[in-house]
Amino acid sequence: MTSAEIHAQLTGVTRVFDLPAGGKLHAMGPVDLALRRGEFFSVVGPSGCGKSTLLDVLAGLAQPTSGDVAFEGKPVAGVPDGIGIVFQEDASLPWLSVRDNVAFGLRRASTDKAETARRVDYALNFMGLRDFADAYPAQLSGGMRQRVCIARTLVLQPRLILLDEPFGALDAQTRLLMGDELLRLWRETHATVLLITHALDEAAMLSDRVGVMSARPGVFIDVVETDWPRERDSRVVSDARFGAITARLWEKLRVESLKSIGGKSVAADGGTLS
């Protein structure tokens, strides 16, 4: 990995919403973020701090109010080719079988039939969906449906994968296992990954770097390097450093989370933490 090579970049990005009742809501920024090619970067932050807004802006799904967004050196306007996105909500298409769901993007791109079949078979195998290829999403569990969405992104061979709390709706054990699969996917595809999550352990376990955002308007208040080897899995949770990393993340995040739920006085009491 050429860690110095910048793959995607946000420079001075802010996002301000007009409120329906008048007035403005400063949701995020100014944010500066440089994603290195091939790294696994996670973003944690209190609820409503603008994590998903950051992802939307980076993906070209939302325009920044100010600042610049670049992917592979080019300004982002609309979703650029080479970016794959997995959302928290179930985005599988319920009227299509698992196979057709996974092939959806390739067919849209008029990919050759044999190539489509090859890539879809690979993705189905990779995500453990081979035996469910002809099933419909309604017949699958939440975790399986999220695998379908990941497989649908994977077949397009994205160079940057953006994940917006993809395991948020899953139980703790499934989340750990899905995390392992995500690491395997990251290693095999050599893609850059940006994961938005509210789970500190997930961020600490999966990432090369974890960015901590402040309460709204979200800005990065810390970026933690984990120094995990590229060959890693969920067993890093038993490493002594894992505790130190999550402790540091929580130390920063606790104060911000209290602010976001209106517990400023408690945050002040716990001021020794910061």
Please tell me the distance from the alpha carbon of residue 211 to that of residue 218, in angstroms, as a whole number: 11
Please identify, among the stretches 28-36, 67-75, 91-99, 113-121, the one whose residues bind other proteins according to the rule CB under 8 A. Answer: 91-99
| Binding of other proteins by 4 (CB under 8 A) | no
In angstroms, the Cα distances linking 47 to 27, 54, 126, 258, 260 are 12, 13, 32, 10, 7
| Binding of other proteins by 87 (CB under 8 A) | yes
Closer CB to other proteins, 74 or 272, in the complex: 74
Closer CB to other proteins, 90 or 180, in the complex: 90
Residue found by looking up tokens 């670049």 in the block: 70
Write a three-state SS string for 67-125.
Answer: EEEEECCEECCCCCCCEEEECCCCCCCCCCCHHHHHHHHHHHCCCCHHHHHHHHHHHHH
Q: Are strands 66-71 and 160-164 parallel, antiparallel or unpaired?
A: unpaired
Please identify, among the stretches 40-48, 76-84, 195-203, 266-274, the one whose residues bind other proteins according to the rule CB under 8 A. Answer: 76-84
Please tell me the distance from the alpha carbon of residue 269 to that of residue 46, in angstroms, as a whole number: 19
Q: Which of 191, 175, 189, 183 is nearest to 231 (CA)?
A: 183
Please tell me the distance from the alpha carbon of residue 6 to that of residue 204, in angstroms, as a whole number: 22
Q: Going residue by residue from 94 to 133, which x/- string records binding to other proteins, judged by CB under 8 A?
A: xx--------xx--x-------------------------
Q: In what order do the strands lie in the sheet with 83-86?
A: 83-86, 160-164, 192-196, 40-44, 209-213, 220-225
CA 90, 27, 83, 35 torsion-angle sign: negative
Task: Give min distance, CB of 167 to other proteins, in A.
Answer: 15
Task: Give min distance, CB of 188 to other proteins, in A.
Answer: 22
| Binding of other proteins by 245 (CB under 8 A) | no
Q: Going residue by residue from 49 to 68, which x/- string records binding to other proteins, judged by CB under 8 A?
A: ----------x-x-------
Task: Give min distance, CB of 83 to other proteins, in A.
Answer: 8
Closer CB to other proteins, 87 or 250, in the complex: 87
Among 34, 70, 79, 177, binds other proteins (CB under 8 A): 79
CB of 219 within 8 A of CB of 53? Answer: no
Closer CB to other proteins, 144 or 212, in the complex: 144
Closer CB to other proteins, 52 or 257, in the complex: 52
Site for other proteins in 132-171 (CB under 8 A): 136-138
Task: Give min distance, CB of 144 to other proteins, in A.
Answer: 13
Among 16, 34, 70, 91, binds other proteins (CB under 8 A): 91
| Binding of other proteins by 85 (CB under 8 A) | yes
Closer CB to other proteins, 63 or 125, in the complex: 63
Footprint of other proteins (CB under 8 A): 59, 61, 78-79, 84-85, 87, 89-91, 93-95, 104-105, 108, 136-138
